[in-house]
Each structure stands twice: as C-alpha cells, then as structure tokens.
Amino acid sequence: MPSACSLCNHPEAQSRPWSDVYFQVSCRTCGVYHIQHLFFRMVMGFESERCVPLSCATRNASERGQTLDLADGNYQDIINSMPRLTPVEQMDLVLEYLEAKTGPDRLPVPLDPKTDYPIAYARGMAGMDFVINALQRKKWIYRIPAGSAGAEPKAQLTMEGHERLEARRKQPRGVTGWDRVDRCLKDAEERLSQAKTEEQFQSVGHLCRETLISLGQAVYDPERHPAPDGVKLSRTDAVRMLDAYVAKELHGKGNAETRALVKKADALTDALQHERTADFRTAAICLEATRSLVEMFAIIAGKRDR
C-alpha cells in the first residue's frame, strides 16, 4: 500500500485498501482517487513530469465530487484528454476556484503553488507560480504569504477579480477564446443577416469554410495529432486537421460520429459556395452546422468545463 501519494509523492497523503484491485489515496495535491495495484507499481517508475497530468485529472475530478480510477488500461487516455489551456484560461480557473472555496465570511482561501497547481492544469509549481503572479499583476487576487508556523499561503479575490468573473459570465455562449474562429463566425453571422442575393448567400459558405480552417489551426498540433497516414497536413486542410485532433483527444463511441460531423459540415460549406441558387435557408443551415461544430470542439477542448 502506498506510504505517500503515488502521483506527487506528497508525504502526508493517506492510503487505504479500496477493493481487491484498488487502493484509495487522499492527497492535498491530487485529491481523492483510486489506483490499481498493478498501476501503482508501474507509476513508481514514472518520471515526475509524466505524473503531472494525472495529478491534474484526479484533483479536478475530486473538486467536482468525482473519484477517478487509475489503471494500466486507462491512464494514457486520461493524459491525452487533458485540456491545453492558455495562461488566461488558467487564470480564470484559479479565480473560479477561489470563488467556489470562499465562504460567507470572505476569508482568504489556501492557495499554494506547491500543492494547488492541478486546479489550473499547470505544469507543476513553476507553472502555477507564473499564473498566480499574473493574477497579482492584474490585481485580480490578493495574496497572503505563508506564516512562520507552517501555515499555507492564501489568496482572496479582489473586487477586480469578481468583476472579471462577472464579465466572463456575460460573454455570449458562442465565444470560444479562439480569436480568429470567433471573428470568422461573427463575420458569417453578419453576412447572413445582410445577404439579399445568391452571391451574398454563397459568401456565407466561404466564411463558414474559413471558420472551419481557423478552428483546425486553433486545435491542431502536428506533434500531438499526427495524421494516420503519416502525411504532413496542410494548414488549410480543415477536415484532416480536425479529424486528427478528434482521433487523439476524443475516445469512445463519440469519436467516429464527431469525425463524420466534421466531414458533413465541410460538405455543406463547399456545397453552399458553389450553389448558384443559394438562398437564406441553405446559408442558415450551413452557418448553424458550422456554429454547432465550433461549440462541439470547444467542449472537447475543455472550454465549457465547469
């Protein structure tokens, strides 16, 4: 049975048998999780950096009231499913965490980069330090250093931090944070609202096509999402970029269906661009399919996680 946390090696973690094949571990850093006996022996040989995504997964699941089971058959899928967040998105996660943990008394909340880096999906203490320092520079949080008696460092939201969260909640649901995707989608919506001729409705298809290309460029990473046939993908091949992304990031039954939707949305944009009798209905259907696909990829990328 583990004498320390199997993932982060925190010495004060508590472990107990959970079943014939699992231990349950309670850790300040990683939350509560179950680890398979066989995988426990495997993870002892992992480099610490390889365990960071697992710590992020178990801690965030624990914060949601869930308990992850870590096993030799699923740990790689868990690592692969970790969201790739921008620093601003990480900052927003910390703000949301502080808000959720703050009680009616508004007292500061423990926030230690050594143990709380998983809540921001940061790459360890150094990554969390960067996020916290950026929050302080923005004056979104007020930080209280660790006390001399071994007390943890703490933080609390400032009024500016509360205002930041309120502003985010008022954003339209479709805003993804992928600037070019949002801009292309907005342009397509405006073009549809103003279109009156066949050529103008066709141009909605062109903007939807640009949206899909921008979406592919936003999520696709050549090293993380290699094409199945090993061919280097063009930066304008929306279907193959999105297909490679889904193949790597989305596991289970939804994989094939989502990839099929990508191809159908692309087919709609292509058909609209070449439809000489294009009208409002065909353009609106194309735009709605594109908008829905963008929202699906925002979900896969973790942008809609609570």
Q: Give me the DSSP letters along 100-159.
A: HH--TT---EE--HHHHGGGGT-SSHHHHHHHHHHHHHTTSEEEEPPPTTSPPPEEEE-H
Neighbours of 217 (CB within 10 A): 15
In the predicted structure, residue 280 carries a pLDDT above the cut 90: yes
Residue 252 lies in a domain: yes
Residue 149 lies in a domain: yes
d(CA 86, CA 89): 5
Do 212 and 255 belong to one domain?
A: yes
Residues spanned by the domain of 210: 179-300
In the predicted structure, residue 221 carries a pLDDT above the cut 80: yes
Do 291 and 215 belong to one domain?
A: yes
Residue 8 lies in a domain: no
Query: Residue range 119-126: average pLDDT?
Result: 92
Asked if 1 and 37 touch (Cβ cutoff 8 Å), the reply is no
In percent, the amount of the chain with pLDDT more than 70 equals: 95
Taking the whole predicted model, whether its pTM rises above 0.75 is answered as no
Residue 138 lies in a domain: yes
Do 183 and 276 belong to one domain?
A: yes
Q: What are phi and psi of 237, to 5 degrees?
A: -90, 80
Do 164 and 140 belong to one domain?
A: yes
Residue 30 lies in a domain: yes
Give me the torsion for CA of 233, 50, 24, 58, rounded to 10°: -50
Do 156 and 207 belong to one domain?
A: no
Query: Residue range 247-252: average pLDDT?
Result: 81
d(CA 273, CA 212): 14
Query: Domain holding 155: CATH number?
Result: 1.10.10.10
- How far apart are the two ends of the chain, measured CA to CA in Å? 33
256 Cβ neighbours under 8 A, 6+ residues apart: none
Please tell me the total count of domains within the chain: 3
Do 147 and 96 belong to one domain?
A: yes
Query: Residue range 161-189: average pLDDT?
Result: 85
Rounded to the nearest angstrom, the gap between the alpha carbon of residue 40 and the centroid of all alpha carbons in its chain is 27
pLDDT of residue 75: 86
Taking only the tens place, the pLDDT of each residue in 262-277 is 999 999 999 998 898 9
Tokens of 5: 């946390």
Asked if 191 and 207 touch (Cβ cutoff 8 Å), the reply is yes
Taking only the tens place, the pLDDT of each residue in 20-69 is 999 999 999 999 999 999 999 999 889 888 899 999 999 988 888 888 89
pLDDT of residue 34: 94
Do 23 and 107 belong to one domain?
A: no
In the predicted structure, residue 285 carries a pLDDT above the cut 90: yes
The residue whose two tokens read 């066709």 is: 202
Do 128 and 204 belong to one domain?
A: no
Do 129 and 40 belong to one domain?
A: no
Residue 4 lies in a domain: no
Do 293 and 183 belong to one domain?
A: yes
Residue 9 lies in a domain: no
Do 76 and 94 belong to one domain?
A: no
Q: What are phi and psi of 89, to 5 degrees?
A: -65, -40
The last residue of one of the domains, among 80, 95, 113, is: 80
In the predicted structure, residue 147 carries a pLDDT above the cut 80: no
* CA distances (Å), origin 247, targets 156, 239, 257, 272: 40, 12, 11, 27
Do 70 and 108 belong to one domain?
A: no
Residue 174 lies in a domain: no
